[in-house]
Amino acid sequence: MSARERIAGNVASYVDDRTGAAGWMKKNLQKVFPDHWSFMLGEIALYSFVILLLSGTFLTFWFDPSMREVIYEGSYVPLQGVEMSAAYASALDISFEVRGGLLMRQIHHWSALIFMAAIVVHLMRVYFTGAFRKPREFNWILGIGLLTLGIVEGFLGYSLPDDLLSGTGIRIAEAIIQAIPVIGSYLSYFAFGGGFPGIAFIPRIYTLHILLLPGIFLALITVHLMLVWYQKHTQYPGPGRTEKNVVGYPLLPMYMAKAGGFFFIVFGVTALLGAVASINPIWLYGPYTPGQVSAGSQPDWYMGWLDGLVRMAPPIEPVIFGYTLSLNILLPGLIIPGILFTGMALYPFIEQWITGDKREHHLLDRPRNAPNRTALGVMSLTFMIIALINGGNDIIATNFDLSINQIMWFSRIAIFVLPPLAFIITKRLCLSLQRADRDLVLHGRETGRLVMMPSGEFVEVHEQISPEKAWLLTQHEQNQPLELAESDLRGVRRPGLLKSKLRKRLAVAHAVQVPKPNLSDLKELDHH
């Protein structure tokens, strides 16, 4: 035994004597992780969070979260002598006086954008493959919580520098708070320590941004990952993969090396963006003052859909018994997002109610094999994309020389018309793909080789697909819609008929499918 091995052994037994960790470690170092590129999306989000913590900590060493007025005397000439808040001045100092400060600011902002993008794409992967099904509903809800928190955290973060753009964002947030019925103006005065903008807001959101929310993030992410660990990862269907097993690489060494390496790749790419791609050049915007605004004011992308909804809202503001109800703000700013996010969080339970399926699922669905779910997802995405496009309508109008009014009217109509259309088209596409799968299994793949028969007829030679591929295309379950009796055994109509009728209709819609081929189909085909 070499000296190094002896030392390592001593350290290990010292720790194990006190914790008994060896048994647990032995088991978990062998833990199996299935391999697929789409499983790295959540990893990107996790690693971006680590990058945010590291770069954010660096920024706190110089950032002064104060709205105290100072005269700028730094090295950026165009703003010298200008009155501004200490927050903005210190953000300028980080950009111009601290070596590596601008790099860190840009890494921090880029990784926030990547963090949110990774969360959204990860959520799409989980949704479209049905990974949220039992037993993973809790983790789905945690994920929705993290997404919501991420939007808030991101907004607070880019509000901190107190430049003209971010101040305008805070102004809009203030208007949303103020629009809340009955208590709105009180909430706003509490949040801002008086009238807008006051001097209390930036220090307050600083505490939320660097302490409270990251703490909650850390706790939720820990639980999210512990559940993934404990429940074991889902896997894509394929030969040898069942509901009862996990096929993949062990944690040590393969997965650890790949995942660890991937952290450095994500960090490296983020740093590369921070090095070459300018983001949020606050010195160009100038300090915030409520009397000014820069044309083309845009929030970060994950807020863009919200801004787009606010822009397209109709000008409705009824006055009821002398009290003003700003539906033009409440509808797009709070009510619709509230409905969307609640619906998203409850979706696993809604689908379970529709299908009546109470079993565990560890094999992922191919999206085409769940046409209704896939169509609903594409429908929601269409809604969000239209809202996002409308959030940039001014940029689109100036870049493409279009009328902003026409873009707005397009969005106002499209947001009602296109999502249902997307639903119908997606569902048809899924069923067509199912049909194509069926054809592929039954008739094999087209080889492109034409053969002339003795009769002079030309036929294309088809080639049987591999048993692995045939299995992949036919392994999924095809369940019949849930049967619901409208009356009980004695012929008495059940209570809640309307609810059960709705459930029945949804169950039927959910179970629409092209029958998958089986061996008897194949044998029958052989007779021809």
Residues 177-236 close enough to bind another protein by CB under 8 A:
178-186, 188-198, 200, 231-232
Give the shortest CB-379-to-another protein separation in angstroms: 24
Paired tokens of 161? 């520098």
| Residues 135-154 contacting another protein, CB under 8 A | 135
Give the shortest CB-433-to-another protein separation in angstroms: 18
Give the shortest CB-368-to-another protein separation in angstroms: 17
438 binds another protein (CB under 8 A): no
CB of 341 within 8 A of CB of 148?
A: yes
Contacting residue, 9, 260, 356, 420, with another protein by CB under 8 A: 260
Paired tokens of 270? 């983020």
Map tokens 């945010």 to a residue.
Answer: 52
Q: For residues 322 and 330, what is the distance between their CA atoms, to the nearest angstrom? A: 18
Contacting residue, 42, 56, 161, 274, with another protein by CB under 8 A: 274
Using DSSP, state whether 520 is helix, strand or coil. Answer: helix
User: Is the CB of 244 or the CB of 490 nearer to another protein?
Assistant: 244
What is the distance of C-alpha 28 from the center of its chain?
Answer: 29
Give the shortest CB-214-to-another protein separation in angstroms: 21
Paired tokens of 252? 């040590």
User: Is the CB of 262 or the CB of 341 nearer to another protein?
Assistant: 262
User: Is the CB of 153 or the CB of 307 nearer to another protein?
Assistant: 307
38 binds another protein (CB under 8 A): no
CA angle 181, 185, 186 (to 5 degrees): 105
Paired tokens of 364? 């992922």
Q: For residues 180 and 323, what is the distance between their CA atoms, to the nearest angstrom? A: 12
Q: For residues 224 and 137, what is the distance between their CA atoms, to the nearest angstrom? A: 11
Interface stretch with another protein, choices 148-156, 211-219, 324-332, 443-451 (CB under 8 A): 324-332
Interface stretch with another protein, choices 5-13, 263-271, 423-431, 448-456 (CB under 8 A): 263-271
User: Is the CB of 455 or the CB of 480 nearer to another protein?
Assistant: 480
Paired tokens of 264? 């450095």
Contacting residue, 53, 124, 175, 508, with another protein by CB under 8 A: 175
Provide the 10 A C-beta neighbour count for residue 112: 26
User: Is the CB of 263 or the CB of 341 nearer to another protein?
Assistant: 263
408 binds another protein (CB under 8 A): yes
CB of 201 within 8 A of CB of 170?
A: yes
Contacting residue, 8, 11, 15, 257, with another protein by CB under 8 A: 257
Map tokens 């997802």 to a residue.
Answer: 377
CB of 154 within 8 A of CB of 300?
A: yes
Map tokens 């339970």 to a residue.
Answer: 349
User: Is the CB of 168 or the CB of 513 nearer to another protein?
Assistant: 168
Paired tokens of 357? 């399926």
Interface stretch with another protein, choices 6-14, 239-247, 373-381, 419-427 (CB under 8 A): 239-247
Going by C-beta distance under 8 Å and a sequence separation of 6 or more, which residues neighbour residue 151? Answer: 116, 302, 303
Contacting residue, 243, 460, 486, 524, with another protein by CB under 8 A: 243
| Residues 450-509 contacting another protein, CB under 8 A | 467-468, 470-471, 474-475, 477
Contacting residue, 25, 32, 346, 433, with another protein by CB under 8 A: 32
| Residues 51-80 contacting another protein, CB under 8 A | none
Going by C-beta distance under 8 Å and a sequence separation of 6 or more, which residues neighbour residue 259? Answer: 43
**# of chain residues touching another protein (CB under 8 A):** 119
Cα distances (angstroms) measured from residue 325 to each of 172, 314, 321: 17, 13, 10
What DSSP string describes 155-184? HHHHHTT-BHHHHHHHHHHHHHHHHSTTTH
User: Is the CB of 321 or the CB of 458 nearer to another protein?
Assistant: 321
| Residues 330-359 contacting another protein, CB under 8 A | 332
- Nearest 5°: phi and psi at 297? -65, 125
Give the shortest CB-66-to-another protein separation in angstroms: 14
265 binds another protein (CB under 8 A): yes
Give the shortest CB-140-to-another protein separation in angstroms: 16
Q: For residues 400 and 421, what is the distance between their CA atoms, to the nearest angstrom? A: 26
One-letter amino acid for residue 159 of the chain:
S
| Residues 95-114 contacting another protein, CB under 8 A | 96, 99-100, 102-103, 106
365 binds another protein (CB under 8 A): no
User: Is the CB of 73 or the CB of 317 nearer to another protein?
Assistant: 317
Give the shortest CB-131-to-another protein separation in angstroms: 14
Contacting residue, 26, 244, 490, 528, with another protein by CB under 8 A: 244
User: Is the CB of 39 or the CB of 423 nearer to another protein?
Assistant: 39
| Residues 280-319 contacting another protein, CB under 8 A | 288-297, 307, 310-317, 319
31 binds another protein (CB under 8 A): yes
User: Is the CB of 148 or the CB of 298 nearer to another protein?
Assistant: 298
CB of 203 within 8 A of CB of 66?
A: yes
CB of 58 within 8 A of CB of 128?
A: no
Kindly give the interhelix angle for 101-128 and 86-96, rounded to the nearest 10 degrees.
100
